Amino acid sequence: MTKEATYRVLLRPTEVELRAPAGTQLRDLLFEQGVEFPCGGQGRCRGCRVRVLAGAVEVNAAQRERLSEEELKNGWRLACQCRLTDDVVIELRQWDAAILVDESAFAFEPRLGLGVAVDLGTTTLVAQLLDLTTGHVMAVRTALNAQARYGADVMSRVGYAADKDHLLALAQLIRRQIGSLIDQLIFASKARRSDIRDVVLVGNTVMHHLFCGLDVEPLSHYPFEPQEGGLKTFGANDLGWNLEPGATIRFLPCLGGFVGSDVLAGVLATRLAESQEMGALVDLGTNGEIVVGNSARLLCASTAAGPAFEGARISMGMRAATGAISQVTVEDHHLDFRVLGNAAPQGLCGSGLVDAVAAGLDLEVIQPSGRFANGRKEWTLVPPVVLTQSDIRELQLAKGAIAAGFHILLDRLGASAGDVRKLYLAGAFGNYISHSSAQRIGLINLPVDKVNAAGNTALLGAKLALFSLDGEEGSYNGLLHKIEHVPLKADAKFQDVFVEELAFPEPSHVPS
Ligand code: FES
């Protein structure tokens, strides 16, 4: 038996070295490193451009269409279209683009020194070291949140942290982990530790409390309102971080309820508060967060969607990892699949689940009520992966919660879905989900050309906040007073709207 060839991938500027088998999709490798794929890897947006500094990387038709001859000659490739066929050195530059490229009133002044932006997620952490003079990202580090072993989702972590000793231990754990990520950023970039002036962290309300060591009891019961959700500022010594005593570490403030500073940062990144046109930002996760409005008024809310979008509580659900079906399409009444890591299918991740149900509706295997047609109990997509009735029910609960939240916020603004000019889908799931499938299942009640995968808006907003820490108009501080939190549970109509939104739309009701 011949041993499968593996190749070496060296990433710049992160200096991360990876090894992977021949034929591995670059997209699968780079996603783990925090690289985003704004059009979901369809080869349409150029957002995943990387520059090949050494080694050979194929050019296919999609790349010839999207990249000029000059760009191809200079080594630019679309990472979503390439497989590994050689040892390569790849430069990742996508993070630089969104900083300091602005002519509007929102422009950020370059500053002296270095800054660190951290997106503290329930599952993953991303930290970037920035040169505040140029906006250049000098290094990136990602990690799984070390607290996850004490509860995968926010509510189980709130339960664990009810004990004061546990709360302190969780705070110590995450502070140590982020301190060590900062050390790694300094090491990888060869930056001077003393040049780091500011660190900005964003995260959901529970992550905010667990980092700051604040009592999570108010988050464990109705009305789920944080009592200490404001801006928290620390010195390096408070956290045991090896930075200059003058460096300032800020955890940005929460917006209310379970809407944290990750959403505040998302509004900063998408500039919803600057546009007169109605826009929306939706972060799809176990806790779905929604912001709707314009420069006149912005409303935000969170809604418990359950873990279906993350592939959890689904009979053959799994995280977006090797073996997960991430895409399902219908060709001539047959199903086609994309499996992550080019492996045999083992289960469905969130985007695959949404696609599978959309395909089931198109093929009339699933009825608009969510029930299988013809008394079927389950549907074999491709052995051994099956979809069950309760899987469909979990997805209905998730999409119903988001769609109902969206509906209520629009109602309060006296608007309807037709008034929304742009919808930004934030976060990793928003990056990968098929917009037409999301529309087919009624998760999004808008034409697909109004939907944009916005990538990690929390991290982008944290970076932008590094350039505007003084509370001026257009900064996170200015935004804080413009965004109103709506507690959905207290809305008399929420339950009825939620029940209505559980059904899938009839084909004639899917917006074109
Ligand atoms: S072109 Fe690759 S993600 Fe859009």
DSSP line for 123-166:
SEEEEEEEETTT--EEEEEEEE-GGGGG-SSHHHHHHHTTSHHH
Same domain, 374 and 306: yes
pTM of the model: 0.83
Between helices 261-270 and 457-466, what is the axis angle to 10°?
80
pLDDT of residue 106: 40
Cα distance from N-terminal residue to C-terminal residue, the chain:
52
Task: Please check whether residue 299 lies inside any domain of the structure.
Answer: yes
**Candidates 80, 431, 435: which one to mutate for ligand 1, based on the most atoms within 8 Å of Cβ?**
80
Please indicate, yes or no, if residue 102 is contained in any of the structural domains: no
Gap between the Cα atoms of 447 and 450, Å rounded: 6
Residue 183 falls inside a structural domain = yes
Identity of residue 434: S
Domain assignment of residue 118, given as a range: 114-254
248 and 276 inside one domain: no
Among the atoms of ligand 1, which is closest to the Cα of residue 62? 1
Q: Would you state the pLDDT for residue 108?
A: 61
109 in a structural domain: no
Q: Whose CA is closest to 128, among 454, 424, 464, 429?
A: 464
Please tell me the distance between residue 49's alpha carbon and the centre of ligand 1 in angstroms. 7
pLDDT for res 136:
82
One domain for residues 340 and 463: yes
Q: What is the pLDDT of residue 474?
A: 59
Cβ(453) – ligand 1 distance below 6 Å: no
* 179 CB within 6 A, ligand 1: no
- Testing ligand 1's pocket by substitution, the residue of 26, 31, 36, 37 carrying the most ligand atoms inside 8 A of its CB is 37
Residue where one domain finishes, among candidates 203, 224, 254: 254
In a domain, 106, yes or no: no
Cα(31) to centroid(ligand 1), Å: 12
Residue closest by Cα to atom 1 of ligand 1: 43
Q: The CATH number of the domain where 25 resides is what?
A: 3.10.20.30
Measured from the Cα of 78, ligand 1's closest atom is 2
Q: Which of 25, 28, 29, 46 to mutate to test the pocket of ligand 1 (most atoms within 8 A of CB)?
A: 46
Q: What is the 39 CA–ligand 1 centroid distance (Å)? A: 5
Residues 148 and 290 in one domain: no
Which of 30, 57, 92 is the endpoint of a domain? Answer: 92
Distance 453 CA to ligand 1 centre (A): 11
In tens digits, what is the pLDDT along the chain, a chain of 512 residues? 445 689 999 988 777 889 999 988 898 888 777 777 767 677 877 878 899 999 999 899 999 999 999 999 999 999 999 999 999 999 887 665 444 333 333 456 778 899 999 999 988 889 999 999 888 888 888 888 899 888 878 888 999 999 999 999 999 999 999 999 999 999 988 999 999 999 999 999 999 999 999 999 999 988 888 888 899 999 999 999 999 999 999 999 999 999 999 999 999 989 899 899 999 999 987 789 999 999 999 999 999 887 788 777 899 998 877 789 999 999 988 999 988 877 899 999 999 999 999 999 999 999 999 999 989 999 999 999 999 999 999 999 999 999 999 999 999 999 999 999 999 998 777 777 899 999 999 999 899 899 988 888 899 899 889 987 765 555 788 888 899 999 998 899 999 999 999 999 988 777 77
Residue 262 in any domain: the answer is no
Residue 440 domain-assigned (yes or no): yes
Q: Residue 319: how many CB atoms within 10 A of its CB? A: 13
Cα of 79 from ligand 1 centre, angstroms: 7
Please identify, by atom number, the ligand 1 atom nearest to the C-alpha of residue 39. Answer: 4
Regarding whether 468 and 349 lie in a shared domain, the answer is yes
From CA 217, how far away is CA 242, in angstroms rounded?
Answer: 31
User: Rounded to the nearest whole angstrom, what is the distance from the C-alpha of residue 395 to the centroid of ligand 1?
Assistant: 27
Ligand 1 within 6 A of CB of 46: yes
From 78, 327, 452, the mutation candidate for ligand 1 (largest count of ligand atoms within 8 A of CB) is: 78
Residues 447 and 366 in one domain: yes
Beta strands in 305-389 (DSSP E): 324-331, 334-339, 347-348, 378-382, 385-388
Q: Are 405 and 500 in the same domain?
A: yes
205 and 338 in a single domain? The answer is no
Confidence (pLDDT) at 470: 66
Pocket test for ligand 1, best of 26, 35, 39, 425 (most atoms within 8 A of CB): 39
Residue 148 corresponds to which tokens in the numbers above? 């996850």
Q: Are strands 278-283 and 287-293 parallel, antiparallel or unpaired?
A: antiparallel
On whether both 67 and 139 belong to a single domain, the answer is no
Tokens 């001859």, residue located? 69
Q: Is 44 in the pocket of ligand 1 (CB under 6 A)?
A: yes
Alpha-carbon distances, residue 136 vs 54, 110, 304 (angstroms): 22, 11, 37
Are 343 and 377 members of one domain?
Answer: yes
> Given its phi and psi angles, is residue 16 left (phi above 0), alpha (psi -120 to 50 degrees) or beta?
beta
Residue 157's CATH number: 3.30.420.480
Q: Which residue has the tokens 């995450």?
A: 174
- Residues 290, 421: one domain? yes
**Distance from Cα 228 to the centre of ligand 1, integer Å:** 40
Measured in Å, residue 62 CA sits from the centre of ligand 1 at 10
- Asked if 356 and 496 sit in the same domain, the reply is yes
Report CA(364)–ligand 1 centroid distance (Å): 31
Q: How close is the Cα of 45 to the center of ligand 1, in Å?
A: 5
Give domain status of residue 128, yes or no: yes
Q: How many other CB atoms are found less than 10 A from the CB of residue 314? A: 25
Q: Is ligand 1 within 6 A of the CB of residue 20?
A: no
* Inter-residue contact 115 to 466 (CB < 8 Å): yes
Give the position, in ligand 1's atom list, of the atom nearest the Cα of 37.
3
Number of domains observed in the structure of the chain: 3
Task: Give Cα separations from 289 to 92, 283, 428, 450, 487 (angstroms).
Answer: 29, 5, 14, 19, 12
